[in-house]
Amino acid sequence: MKFFLLHVCTLLSVAFAGSHAVTPEVYWKSVLPNSPMPKSIKDLLYKEWNDEKSTTAGTTNVGVGKGGVEVHTGHKGKSVYVGVLSPFIYYDALSMDQLKDNPNVAMFFSENNLHQGIEFNLHFTKTGQKSTFLPRKIADLIPFSSNKLPQIYNKLSVKPDSIEAKIMKQTLNECENKGIEGEEKCCATSLESMVDFSTTKLGTNVKAISTEVNTKESTPLQKYKMEVAKRLAANKAVVCHKQSYPYAVFYCHKTVSTETYAVSMVGVYGTKVKAVAVCHTDTAKWSPKHWAFQVLKVKPGTVPICHILPEDHVVWVPY
């Protein structure tokens, strides 16, 4: 993706040359003056706008690898690639064949396991490149629709038969799917649009939180022990999941019947993690073949299902 990421950066430089446009960071402060910006978002700001030292290690994911979702279980050291399907898209599912080498995936777990002393096998990985936010004024000039893919590929210098093109198409399809019944969602193509969607659904008295890992390098698959699990007061939230795209795009959806936890964990190799865990107390409308049910061997709507969020995903909660 290096070439068209460079193309996007060039577009930014030209568009902002000599201008006094409001940057995404300034917009955040104007709408959310009392809500600090999480590190995960700061890391996605175009480096020339970031007041703090720019990080170059890339984004962090719990098992999200190039070209698809990579889930590690510790079982014979294997990984499974499942295309670009996101585990956080609840209307979709994986087949048992895709999970057969990973019977104990730790991505999803039951709420009664969310307590001090519980252990998880997790792999926090760093990718070599990261897609940064475009200012809304620039993002709005770029088509974001599957029926305009040729125009998008041309504008971002993407070869239509490339793996990057395939990933982009899948992301657009996920964004355009109607989702589960009653779900309020959008794909935010800029930080400003993510702020607007979240505050429209929850009000401006909100804070954004995300998982943080105390390392700039990828950590090995390891067992993490939970030290603290603190439930936040709100029972509703907007959760925004980072998507694979040349610039930062987030799949955001308002969730109800949801509990959010601030979790502290320590790995056996000393890695410390301040994680965000989200527990869905009503899963009745999820696909019955979603991999959470297959892994936990439960049926939709029977028990609360929780998951640890990757470092570059964001949860918005009222305060």
pLDDT average, residue stretch 50-64: 32
Higher pLDDT, 288 or 161: 161
The amino acid that residue 3 corresponds to is F
Looking at the predicted structure, is the pLDDT value of residue 9 above 80?
Answer: no
Higher pLDDT, 90 or 230: 230
Residue 26 pLDDT:
93
Looking at the predicted structure, is the pLDDT value of residue 74 above 70?
Answer: no
Q: Are 23 and 47 in contact (CB under 8 A)?
A: no
Looking at the predicted structure, is the pLDDT value of residue 290 above 50?
Answer: yes
Average pLDDT, the chain: 77
Residue 309 pLDDT:
87
Residue 234, classified by CB atoms within 10 Å of its CB into exposed (0-12), middle (13-18) or buried (19+), is middle
Residue 20 pLDDT:
54
- What global pTM score does this model have? 0.78
Least confident of 32-41, 116-125, 144-153, 205-214: 116-125
Measured in whole angstroms, the distance separating CA 264 from the mean position of its chain's CA atoms is: 19
pLDDT average, residue stretch 146-168: 94
Tell whether the torsion through CA atoms of 277, 281, 286 and 287 is positive or negative. Answer: positive
Looking at the predicted structure, is the pLDDT value of residue 57 above 60?
Answer: no
Q: Give the separation between CA 89 and CA 170, rounded to whole angstroms.
A: 12
Q: Quick one: angle between helices 24-31 and 191-202, nearest 10?
A: 20
Query: Where residue 60 falls among pLDDT bands split at 50, 70, 90?
Result: very low
pLDDT average, residue stretch 199-218: 90
The closest alpha carbon to 294, from 107, 129, 153, belongs to 107
Looking at the predicted structure, is the pLDDT value of residue 65 above 80?
Answer: no
The one-character DSSP state at 111 is G
Looking at the predicted structure, is the pLDDT value of residue 145 above 90?
Answer: yes
Query: Where residue 146 falls among pLDDT bands split at 50, 70, 90?
Result: very high
Query: Where residue 106 falls among pLDDT bands split at 50, 70, 90?
Result: low
The one-character DSSP state at 112 is G
Q: Residue by residue, what is the 3-state secondary structure of 142-160? A: CCCCHHHHHHHHHHCCCCC
Cα-Cα-Cα-Cα torsion 103, 107, 111, 116, nearest 10 degrees, comes to: 100
Residue 288 pLDDT:
83
Q: Give the separation between CA 238 and CA 88, rounded to whole angstroms.
A: 13
Max mean pLDDT among 149-163, 232-246, 271-285 falls in: 149-163
pLDDT average, residue stretch 22-42: 93
The closest alpha carbon to 167, from 51, 316, 67, 76, belongs to 67
pLDDT one-digit tens code per residue, 245-283: 999 999 999 987 889 999 999 999 889 999 999 998 888
Q: Give the separation between CA 247 and CA 251, rounded to whole angstroms.
A: 13
Q: What is the DSSP string of 268-316?
A: TTS-EEEEEEEEES--TTS-TT-HHHHHHT--TTSS-EEEEPPTT-EEE
Residue 247 pLDDT:
95
∠ CA 136-192-307 to the nearest 5 degrees?
125
Q: Could you give the residue ranges of the DSSP H alpha helices within 61-140? A: 96-99, 136-139
Q: Are 166 and 257 in contact (CB under 8 A)?
A: no
Looking at the predicted structure, is the pLDDT value of residue 227 above 80?
Answer: yes
Residue 144 pLDDT:
97
Q: Coil, strand or helix: which one is 165?
A: helix
pLDDT average, residue stretch 299-304: 90
Q: What is the DSSP string of 7-32?
A: HHHHHHHHHHTT--PPPHHHHHHHH-
Q: Coil, strand or helix: which one is 192?
A: helix
Higher pLDDT, 10 or 309: 309
Higher pLDDT, 235 or 52: 235
Looking at the predicted structure, is the pLDDT value of residue 66 above 70?
Answer: no
